[in-house]
Amino acid sequence: MTVTKTDSLYKKEYFGRIAELNKYAPDAFQSFMKFNDQALAAGKLTVKQKELIAVAVAHITGCPYCIDLHVGNAKKNDSSKEEVAEAIFVATALKAGSSAAHGVSALNAYDGKGDDELYKASYFARLKEFAELNGETFKAFIDFDQKSIKAQNITEKDKELIAVACAHTTGCAYCIDLHTKNAKKTGASLEEISEAIFVAVALKAGSAFAHSVNALNAYDEN
């Protein structure tokens, strides 16, 4: 097998190619960069809060470039390793939670209820049925989920804001409904919730943007 320069598909040095897109698609490049900078800038939420949200979302998108960049940014903005770890576990709980929440759709499908509506808030109540179907596993997940969102080095309010952003990344309607309401209960304003959502928007789009360096490598190889 011939080893090429792109045999290793992820290297930090590849990320330096990102600026090349300004030459090939300048309008889109510049407008995205402006949006990204604004989404991560201090507003109702501090830069530190936004970078912790970004770290969490990056672990859902799975973009190694984004993880490297935003963990570094979080550290520069005085986030401790404990805070970074807690943000990651909120993301873990939300990514797993979206699968668990969608389990109610599986129950509906299995039971053959024939309802044309695939998403209803009332369906979420069926989640507890998993306690009877797979009790120990369900109990273990609920325990993890509750501990991940519990205030420790990061406040409950900030964890719920992270959860809101993560829920918009997974696209789980049940999770969005639950954690937006929970964030409101902890005192989060609609402005803070909106800013958290736009960090998620920037990171979800940014993962596609960051992977463009792989496309540049692939294009140049031929």
Q: How high is the pLDDT of residue 1?
A: 40
Q: What are 147-173's pLDDT values in tens digits?
A: 999 999 999 999 999 999 999 999 999
Q: Output the pTM of the full model.
A: 0.93
How would residue 3 be classed by pLDDT, with cut points 50, 70 and 90? very low
For the chain, percent of residues with pLDDT exceeding 90: 86
Q: What are 5-53's pLDDT values in tens digits?
A: 657 878 888 899 999 999 999 999 999 999 999 999 999 999 999 999 9
DSSP secondary structure of 121-160: GGGGGGGGGHHHHSHHHHHHHHHHHHHHHS-SSS-HHHHH
On whether the CB atoms of residues 40 and 51 are closer than 8 A, the answer is yes
How would residue 124 be classed by pLDDT, with cut points 50, 70 and 90? very high
CA gap 163, 92 in Å, rounded: 10
Domains of the chain and any CATH numbers:
40-212 (1.20.1290.10)
How would residue 2 be classed by pLDDT, with cut points 50, 70 and 90? very low
CA gap 13, 75 in Å, rounded: 20
Token pair 């402006």 in the structure block, residue: 34
Kindly calculate the radius of gyration of the chain based on its CA atoms and give it in whole angstroms: 20
